[in-house]
Structure 1
Amino acid sequence: MADEALFAGPAIRRLRKREGLTQAGTAARLDISPSYLNLIERNQRPVSARVMMRLVEQFDFDPRSLREDEAIGGVDGLARRFADERFVDLGVDREELQEFLSAAPQAAAAFVRLYDNAGAAVPEADDPLAASRREIERWRNHFADLDMAAEELADEMRLSRADIGIALAERLRERHQLSVRILPREVMPDSLRRLDLHARQVQLSEMMSIPSRNFQLALQLAQLEFSDAIDAVAKGAKFEDEAARSLFARHLTGYVAAALIMPYGRILRACEATGYDLPVLERRFGVSFEQLAHRLTTLQRVGQRGLPFFMVRLDRAGQFSKTFTGASTARFVESDKSCPLWHAHRAFDRAGELQVQFVSLDNSGDRDGGWLTMSRTVEGTGAPGEAQFVIAVGIEAVLATELAQARGVSLRPDDAQPIGPGCTRCHRIRCNQRSLPPIGRKLVFDTIRRGITPFEFAQG
């Protein structure tokens, strides 16, 4: 698995030009020969996993730019879209598509995005949640200045107290003259936290777990001490919609809170020491599975990077209410719906049990290198009728071999469970679980034979 590679010459060439480096200078940074780099840039040699990690370590580089063709579905995906009747008269053949994808992968990805989004009922630009998510992903969910400032404050608070909850409460009391009070559910039936400036109290619901209480205190402290820094980042995004800016600012506040509870240096050292053992990390930092999952997607400090995890939160209908890919190349979580073959759905019926699964995106006849995913239900606050969700984190299988949760899991490509990005975007043939036909494929009807799925379609 460690030797798996991909061809990504144009992406490497763009990186080198962006940095203003010669091939010799770039090769020295990557610890390879200039002649080998020349072959990589001409797509005559692949980018190995070792070279990829050097790229991440040496440059402020997004690994997703190495995988433009994953969302496209490779040449087959382009061929399917160019088979549209609007392009038939152009006579674009497979060889031209191969050249297009190889020489200009970002342009190919732009064409695919326009094609796939054509006819959408509501433009994405009008959706404040989508706009906020785009800005988060533009930053790769790592906000260096906020992270550094939060780490400095966390170190300062822990000089006298090891317990983060006590440290947060003391900071609120000493710096802001605010005491912390836990109130009964009947007093706060619809709230988790409330700031009562008249009584000089931060009031918390008794129904919250200790990790949730600590996080709410950290949120309050972030609002009080980081508001200017958060506003500066949010205003720099230049949102057209005020709701999008507010959603983005809310995310940044949560980001700071997580950084206070799990300071960058400490969490990264603990991850590396334990093999990213999720249950151990939860207990060591006194956090919930969801809080930890969020933090894993943010560890992208230049020169001190963690592994590139993605994180999603989904409901029983398979809808994603949170999606953070960070530096991950995961594309199948960018859909609106998930695949029922993914064990993240099984977690709903096995509360508290970690579901570990090796999956691969099987689309247009091509599989990716596979992903190790870990899913679990999240602990609730105990409020009546509260929603239930599953949190899933994942990482490319090529980077997962040494992880604690990978022990005993075969990461051989043939052992991966093929999944798709939801039925309407999945072009996998003969899937027993298919519920809807794929967009962009011509349906085939056979009056002689009845297939195993309700929808059969052309493969080309």
Structure 2
Amino acid sequence: MAERKLLAGQAVRRLRRRAGLTQAAMAEMLAVSPSYLNLIERNHRPLSASLLVRMAEQFDLDPRTLAAGEPGGGAVAIRRRLADPLFADLEVDRSEVDEWLAAAPGGAEAFARAFDRLGGAGSDTAATGGDDPLALVRQEVERWQNHFADLDQQAEMLADDLRLVGADLYGAMVERLRVKHGLSIRVLPVDVMPDALRRLDLHARQLQLSEALDAPGRVFAVAFHLGLIEARTEIEALARGAGFADRVAERLFRRHLASYFAGAIVMPYARFLRACEGSGYDLDLLQRRFGMGYEQVAHRLTTLQRVGMRGLPFFMIRLDRAGQVSKRFAGASGSVLATAAGRCPLWQVHGVFDRPGATQVQVIELEDGARWVTMQRVVSSQGWGGEPVGFAIGIGVEVARAGSLAAVRGVDLAGPATPIGLGCRACFRPDCRQRSLPPVGRSLSINERERGVPALRFAGD
């Protein structure tokens, strides 16, 4: 059987330099010649599966990081950026992008970073600008692939200590706050806390919780504040290391880290991963076992990247009925479905609002042939009064890694998939009936004597 191969020269070079090795030293460790390794680093030779296995053994490497580490996110991501109107007159085709990535991966990566920093149309920061604090925090979280090993380890040790106190995690955390930190918990009526779900009153030495919080919400709120206190040193170090010039971004990042710590207390890494693997990543079962909501469990799935103990690389996205994204984590999946500025209406994550409480499973295929299994469900936001508010939660994993999922039992993963794009302006599929706009840089093609099945056709079909 032919070995699967990929070009990953830049990722290999980055790994070697991080390990402080010369080409000769690394070549010796991998049992190849220095000249052959040099060709690999220059993308003149592919990285074979057998050599990839040796690298994983020698450097405790997750092989997925090499495939995900393509310059600029790979050809599809580069083409998405080149769909910006700024480049419309250049008409750069797919073959040119492939040649650029192979010949000058460093230049392609530099272009991608500069484009994203300026907030171009294909970037995550396009809608709000390159200095948007939410986008800055997302970039920092993705730099860590949403896995903070020190926080996870400390939270797991704390969770073990809490289990010694009693089986009731909420009660154990309340007792620890009272005894060790001098904080009591007080649940207050909605009319006393009309605009807040939790509040730390240092004068009264109370953590005040609204009665509107459900049981998982109360557990998470207590875990959050316990993390702010007990993981303060680690959180501050990570926040300083991010080097944010924007104070709001720094505070948002601290909040993300405290939430991360809270999730790691309630769903300790080793126990949660064992439960995932034993249940086939059954989110309903995981909710019941750990007493958390669907969104909290889905978020935790994106963090399972401990060295030597990795889970499946999921991505997660949360959006409202208008398609506005309020959470996105690509994690180790590297999925453009989480990071792209646009999305496709054929992706069922936009249609689950019509089926509250049900999880929809869909096999989708992107323009580059990448196939993903996605699961989507609507969750209600915490609140009271007024119109009900909900969000669609979408998570996904590559089809090649999805065989063990409980959700795909009976699903033909090798069968037909729904072809989708990353929004009409970045999608070049010519036969889409759902198309609303032509791709950026392509003009509409109008024939008064004929009306095709797709309502809109564009030049180059």
Q: Could you tell me the TM-score, scaled by structure 2's length?
A: 0.85
Matched with 2:397 is 395
Matched with 2:253 is 248
Aligned mate of 2:75, from 56, 60, 72? 72
Instruction: Check the 8 A contact 1:310/1:328 in 2, yes or no.
Output: yes
**Structure 1 residue 105, shift from structure 2 partner:** 3.3
Distance 1:28 1:391 in 2: 47
Instruction: Check the 8 A contact 1:10/1:102 in 2, yes or no.
Output: no
Matched with 1:421 is 422
Residues 33-432 of structure 1 aligned to structure 2 (within 5 Å):
34=32, 44-45=45-46, 48=49, 51=52, 55=56, 58-59=60-61, 62-63=65-66, 65-68=68-71, 71-73=74-76, 84=87, 87=90, 97-111=97-111, 117-118=119-120, 124-362=129-367, 366-368=368-370, 370-384=371-385, 385-412=387-414, 414-432=415-433
Distance 1:409 1:399 in 2: 14
SS of the aligned residue for 1:188 comes to coil
**Matched letter for residue 406 of structure 2:** A
Q: 1:278 to 1:157 in 2, by over 3 A?
A: same
Distance 2:55 2:281 in 1: 20
**Which shifted more, 171-180 or 246-255?**
171-180
Q: 1:446 to 1:168 in 2, by over 3 A?
A: same
Deviations 1:98-121 (A, max 9, x none): 432223335324435656855898
Distance 1:94 1:122 in 2: 26
**Matched letter for residue 343 of structure 1:** Q
**Structure 1 residue 179, shift from structure 2 partner:** 2.4
**Which shifted more, 337-346 or 14-23?**
14-23
Q: 1:342 to 1:87 in 2, by over 3 A?
A: closer
Q: Report the count of equivalent residues.
A: 449
Distance 1:69 1:52 in 2: 25
SS of the aligned residue for 1:182 comes to strand
Instruction: Check the 8 A contact 2:236/2:254 in 1, yes or no.
Output: yes
Identical positions, percent: 48
Instruction: Check the 8 A contact 1:310/1:393 in 2, yes or no.
Output: yes
**Structure 1 residue 81, shift from structure 2 partner:** 8.2
Unaligned residue ranges in structure 1 (runs of 5+): none
Matched with 1:19 is 19
Q: 1:93 to 1:242 in 2, by over 3 A?
A: closer
**Matched letter for residue 457 of structure 2:** E
Deviations 1:34-56 (A, max 9, x none): 38x85866565565599479749
Deviations 1:44-74 (A, max 9, x none): 5565599479749813773564444765328
Q: Could you tell me the TM-score, scaled by structure 1's length?
A: 0.85
The answer to whether structure 1 residue 440 and structure 2 residue 441 are counterparts is yes
Q: 1:46 to 1:429 in 2, by over 3 A?
A: farther
Distance 1:348 1:82 in 2: 33
**Structure 1 residue 322, shift from structure 2 partner:** 0.3
Distance 1:76 1:382 in 2: 41
**Structure 1 residue 406, shift from structure 2 partner:** 2.1
Deviations 1:360-416 (A, max 9, x none): 212xxx321x1111111124335123521011111111111112222111111x511
Instruction: Check the 8 A contact 2:380/2:388 in 1, yes or no.
Output: no
Distance 2:265 2:82 in 1: 49
**Structure 1 residue 229, shift from structure 2 partner:** 2.5
Unaligned residue ranges in structure 2 (runs of 5+): none
**Matched letter for residue 76 of structure 2:** G
Instruction: Check the 8 A contact 2:77/2:336 in 1, yes or no.
Output: no
Distance 1:52 1:453 in 2: 46
